[in-house]
Structure 1
Amino acid sequence: MTTETGELRDLPTLTPGPAELADLELLLNGAFQPLTGFLGAVDAATVAAAGRLSDGTPWPVPVTLAVPEDLVKEERLILTDPEGVPLAVLTAAEAWKEPAPAPDADPLPEPAPSGWRMAGPVTPLRTPEHGPFRGLRVPPDEVRLELAGAPALAVATRTPLHRRQLGQLRQLAEKLGARVLVLPLLGEGGHDALVRAVLSVRRELPGDALVVPVPLAERHGRELLLTAHVAAAYGATHLFAPSFTAADEEAAPLTLAAPEPWAFDESLDVWRPTAKIDPDDVRDEPTDEELADLLDRGEEIPEWFTTPAVAEELRRAHPPRHRRGVTVFFTGLSGSGKSTLARGLSDMLVERGGRTVTLLDGDVVRRLLSAGLTFSREDRDLNIRRIGYVAAEITRHGGVAVCAPIAPYTATRAEVRRMVEAAGDFVLVHVSTPLAECERRDRKGLYAKARAGVIPEFTGISDPYEAPEDADLTIDTSGLSPHDAVTRVFDHLVAGGWVRTG
Structure 2
Amino acid sequence: MQLITPYGGTLKNLYQTSPEPMVALRHSWVLSARQLCDTELLLNGAFSPLSGFMNEDDYNRVLHEMRLMDHTLWPMPLTLDVTSEFAASIEIGESIELRNAEGLLIAHMKVSTRWVADKKIEADCVYGTQDQAHPGVDHLYHRTNETYIGGTLSGVTPPPHYDFRQSRYTPEQLRNEFIRRGWQRVVAFQTRNPMHRAHVELTFRAAQQAEANLLLHPVVGMTKPGDVDHYTRVRCYEHALHRFPEQTTMLSLLPLAMRMAGPREALWHAIIRRNYGCSHFIVGRDHASPGCDSLGNEIYGTYDAQDLMYKHQEELGIHMIPFQAMVYVEERSEYAPSDEILPDETVRSISGTELRRRLREGLDIPDWFTYPEIVTELRRTYPPRYAQGFTVFFTGLSGSGKSTLANALLVKLMEVGGRPVSLLDGDIVRTHLSSELGFSKEHRDLNVSRIGFVASEITKNRGIAICAPIAPYTATRREVRQMIEAVGGFVEIHVATPLSICEARDRKGLYAKARAGLIKDFTGIDDPYEEPESPDLKLDTTDASPEAIVQLILLKLEALGYMP
Normalised by the length of structure 1, the TM-score is: 0.91
Q: Which residue does the alignment assign to 2:213? A: 179
Q: Which SS does the other structure have where 1:322 is aligned?
A: helix
Q: Given residue 167 of structure 1, which amino acid in structure 2 is its aligned partner?
A: E
Q: Which residue of 1 aligns with 2:68?
A: 53
Q: Which runs of 5+ in 1 are unaligned?
A: none
How far did 1:333 drift?
A: 2.0
Give the drift of 1:425: 2.3
1:163 to 193, 197, 211: 197
2:280–2:319 Cα contact (<8 Å) kept: yes
* Aligned residue pair count: 498
Deviations along 1:308-330, whole A, 9 cap, x unmatched?
Answer: 11111221222111112212222
CA apart distance, 1:116: 2.3
Instruction: Give 1:335's aligned residue.
Output: 399
**Residue in 2 that maps onto 1:97:** 116
Q: d(CA) in 2 for partners of 1:441 and 1:14?
A: 47
* 1:361 corresponding residue in structure 2: 425
The 8 Å contact of residues 358 and 364 in structure 2, kept in 1 or not, is answered as: yes
3-state secondary structure, aligned to 1:184? coil
User: Letter of the aligned partner of 2:452 in structure 1?
Assistant: G
Query: How much has 1:49 moved relative to structure 2?
Result: 3.6
| Distance (whole Å) between structure 1 residues aligned to residue 324 and residue 470 of structure 2 | 53
1:153 counterpart (173, 187, 196): 187
Q: Does 1:245 align with 2:306?
A: yes
Shift of 1:279: 5.1
CA offset at residue 55 of structure 1? 4.1
Residue aligned with 1:477, SS: coil
Equivalence for 2:363: 299
Give the counterpart letter for 2:156 in structure 1: L
Q: CA deviation at 1:85?
A: 1.9
Looking at structure 2, the residues matched to 224 and 13 of structure 1 have their Cα atoms a distance apart, in angstroms, of 33
Q: Provide the alpha-carbon RMSD of the alignment.
A: 2.5
Opposite residue 130 of structure 1, the aligned amino acid is: H
Partner residue in 1 for 2:233: 194
1: CA distance, partners of 2:97 / 2:32: 14
**1:298-447 paired onto structure 2 within 5 Å:** 298-447=362-511
Give the SS at the match of 1:26: helix
The range that moved more, 73-82 or 299-308, is 73-82
Aligned equivalents of 1:359 and 1:112: distance in 2? 28
Match of 1:231 in 2: 273
* Equivalent-residue separation in structure 2 for 1:120 and 1:143 (angstroms): 27
Residues 19 and 109 in structure 1, CA contact (< 8 A), matched pair in contact too: no
**Aligned mates of 1:265, 1:21 — CA distance in 2:** 43
Output the CA distance in 2 between the equivalents of 1:476 and 1:120: 54
Instruction: State the distance in 1 between where 2:258 and 2:65 align.
Output: 19
Range with bigger deviation, 16-25 or 454-463: 454-463
1:7 alignment partner in structure 2: 24
Q: Secondary structure at the match of 1:474?
A: strand
The secondary structure found in structure 2 opposite 1:101 is helix
The one-letter amino acid of 1:409's match is Y
The Cα of 1:153 is off from its aligned counterpart by 0.7
Contact kept? 1:40, 1:96, Cα under 8 Å: no
Aligned letter for 1:27?
Answer: L
Tell me the distance in 2 between the aligned counterparts of 1:325 and 1:341.
20
Q: Could you give the per-residue CA deviations for residues 9-55 of structure 1, whole angstroms, max 9, x where no partner exists?
A: xx333323222222222222221222232234443344334433344
Amino acid at match of 2:254: V
Residue 98 of structure 2 aligns with which residue? 79
Q: Secondary structure at 1:428's aligned position in 2?
A: strand
- For 1:76 and 1:446, the matched residues in 2 are separated by 49
**Is the CA contact (8 Å cut-off) linking 2:283 and 2:306 kept in structure 1?**
no
Question: TM-score when scaled to structure 2?
Answer: 0.82
The equivalent of 1:478 in structure 2 is 542
**What letter is aligned with 2:98?**
L
* Residue 361 (structure 1) shift: 0.9
Equivalent residue for 1:130, pick from 150, 156, 161:
161
How many Å separate the matches in 1 of 2:326 and 2:244? 16
> Hey, what does 1:220 align to over in structure 2?
260
Alpha-carbon deviation of 1:167? 1.7
Deviation at 1:356, TM superposition (A): 2.3
Cα distance in 1 between the residues matched to 2:433 and 2:362: 36
Q: CA 1:279–1:124 in 2, change beyond 3 Å: closer, same or farther? A: same
User: Does 2:138 align with 1:121?
Assistant: no
Q: Tell me, yes or no, if the aligned pair for 2:29 and 2:96 is still in contact at 8 Å.
A: yes
Offset of 1:351 from its aligned partner? 1.5
Which residue of the partner structure matches residue 246 of structure 2?
207
User: 1:429-468 counterparts in 2 under 5 A?
Assistant: 429-468=493-532
Equivalent AA in structure 1 for residue 170 of structure 2: P
Structure 1, 289-298 or 262-271: larger mean CA deviation: 262-271
Change (3 A) 1:225 1:479: farther
Distance 1:79 1:59 in 2: 24
Counterpart CA distance in 2 for 1:4 and 1:224 is: 41
Label 1:344 to 1:251 Cα distance change in 2 as closer, same or farther (>3 A). farther
CA contact (8 A) 1:431 1:474 kept: yes
Flag the 1:251–1:490 CA change in 2: closer, same or farther, 3 A: farther
Cα gap change, 1:114 to 1:468, in 2 (>3 Å): farther
Conserved 8 A contact 1:432-1:476: yes
For 1:145, the aligned partner's letter is N
Whether the aligned pair in 1 keeps the contact of 2:330 and 2:348 (CA below 8 Å) is no
* Aligned residue identity for 2:193: T
- What residue identity is the alignment partner of 2:202? Q
Which of 354-363 and 293-302 deviates more?
A: 354-363
Query: What secondary structure sits across from 1:433 in the alignment?
Result: coil
Moved more, 109-118 or 129-138: 109-118
- The CA distance in 1 between the partners of 2:537 and 2:441, in whole Å, is 26
Q: Which residue of 1 aligns with 2:301?
A: none
Mapped pair 1:30 → 2:45: yes
Instruction: Judge which range, 392-401 or 273-282, deviates more.
Output: 273-282
Tell me the residue number matched to 2:137: 107
